Structure 1
């Protein structure tokens, strides 16, 4: 208790006063801004009363509860989000207290909602967790002791939930950790017995392939991924995600042999052998062989000359995949549309590709906002004289109808050329792409390929490279670095203005501090509206969809949920989880 008070009040703690796992959980709880004095939870979560986990665990939980019938112990089952699915206890006083602190079905005991506890800490640590008395971050839980153990799917290895034993602090004993681990193993055994013939067939085919093959082997199906040791050694986690996603999509479409570009730059040759096919979804075994990387990396020795040029920096999966696609079209001299939000670096990406491949060749960038007869004449001149070079036409979607017609007339004589040295033409457009109106040519006929450039909020991992580049530009090489706390603030921002907004934020920060270490206090107020945590690319995309639906429906959450095809409880949970706020009647972003 004294250690907890010292941590909360003085932000320091005597070495060895608490266990490392508890201190780590306290630190996470503080970053989530958990209220230490009150328990405030919402029950807006979906329950799956007939999920495989519930079916497997129900008889085991009931049996354990019968064994503890005469003891003040509660047996609790949660899903992977910490949402309580079932609670069994024969002790009236304990049940009343658990209801008081909302440790009841329909409420989540994930750390991000309630701080350190046996359920949430087991989920965060991906392992057994014991929390006693004042080790709980929230004071109303100090009278309790709990031990939680994660439940893993026996074939896919997916984390399904937690089984937890909770009792009064005075009644806690070492038996809890041993007992809860045994219960978790029993539930996993029941899950294995419930595995259907598809999973067993996939497991059989995977094991047979591993015995015969010397290379990387994967087994994939909806909800199941397995890989051998060779796959783990040869293919890094980022490449694994891209490979599995690409192979699954291809396999569902009937492909059995494919080449997949990986974020690292390598190319994977994948042979698929289905184990089963069911209503358009397929499970099977992948044999993977890697080819050497063929795509050169952007040059890093030259400092950027403009704020937007730093947008070419990044090694995250989405950005690397986008860059690889653009490079492939460049090598084939295929005219290309780059689509994305303002400030994402569309034109910069085209310039970077040109400079990586043909730095000595001619490069010209023309802005469609400057449309005039002279602008059209310059395009015609570039197409006729710029063999082997690159022409970038920005903001093409802003052209008036007569401008679209003039551009089509200028491009027409050159679009059918098969000369490998013909000029590479890139058009940049905003979200929504190119559309054809009445009596207006469809420019997509001239640009057969489109690559979507991801917004910065979908690739926040690239900030670790972007921020130093921009700081070097803004300080003209002065020794100014970004502190970890400032980087955390930047990574939690939503960046609706993308790299340009990041540049402006750093410019204001540099005005306060020109050298040394940039701290969170140096950042302008506009970047303090942040999400609770750094979102994954998929979470960022989902968050965007929810915000758009709320905006389209004037903040009506029920209508937004119907529009997205999710339940009302789900959208409430996700709004809270992503930190989306609704000022007044208008829907908005919290960050």
Structure 2
């Protein structure tokens, strides 16, 4: 059948996820639903009114949250309710295209646009009995996706008025979300004002509001906000932590109403200290120590890592002011002769891209290493990409230093970003929203990509606060993902890396990871891998 472009693209995404039209959806996993969420409180009256207006029809209303997990339903006919239960469209079930194919919950969630899906346009055979229209819900203040609203009925009952009807309901819910946010902000402000004059640092963190007294402004950096929010989700009362500045503090955490935010009182355990930092600050301290040690002892070194991870910069750290001669990948027949001629010069000889060297050139370069005392730094992609003569060449160096990709250094992004901004000569301060957006990126281009994003933002704002809006043109805005523990972040990174290597094919990724496809789907849902 001929499919509309948006439907055909959705079918393609479903196929890449390993789905087939006959895939079963009657046993999808179900999780608990937060019945006190802001979304449900704002939407419930609107859902009730929709159900009243749909009385006498065979249509139902389904609401999903920011994870596309169903949180509420309204029915006017029992037969439709039973039909939806047969396809796992029940509260707590997550409807993503990789599990449920093309439909009016998963596809609007994926595309961030309203979509009508009628009968045979559904990817899964089990859903072709329905006609539905879904539209994303966006918070008016934050512009973040907060959910999807859907109207569903039997395939024979399709009606072109479903779209405008549902969009009016979406507008009502979004307006109520904004009103609720204003009330929450008012509650947070009242709580803050009641304690802001205490002889300690007082900080209030709402969903999109930060309030701080003078002591908190001097003590707490924006990079600490994520740490404090995570602390507030798991602990109440007193707790001792260390801020990003290195200052140990006693923290008292208090929740302000159900959804207004968190109130923190912080007191330094001893006078603030500055945490020792790497002199370059772009590399982890242990990596920079090894780079500088290789420089002091003039040891030959292999610097490996993904593109953009700072390999050339790391070689200059090794050189530590000594003369540097750099050779890129082979470009002409005289490349080897030029390297051999440079081998007698003083200083550090840097050979970039040895993972790209043809076998003949790799053998000749290995001979140079064997027969001269020249100080070499070899630069390559990840060590796992070295094979044959390239691996033999790499074995001739005294020390291997692998630079971690930026996605594995999320806790260091605030400090790295500040360093890059200083190098750009910009007097900019990253707001919590900006740091959150940077943290949410996958950074396939690593440090080079981050530097490019910050440079583009600094071109338009050279001083003051750098906000998420300043970064947005160069950064994707994924659905909000909760903070992960260290172990969960490592698991998240492994899955993302494997999916990228498999071009997004989840069947191949599961096989490479040595797990079943259903296990991969479960972990992706739990870790919010998109």
Q: Please report the TM-score for the alignment, with normalisation by the length of structure 2.
A: 0.46
Structure with higher RCO (Cα < 8 A, 6+ apart): 2
Q: Please report the TM-score for the alignment, with normalisation by the length of structure 1.
A: 0.42
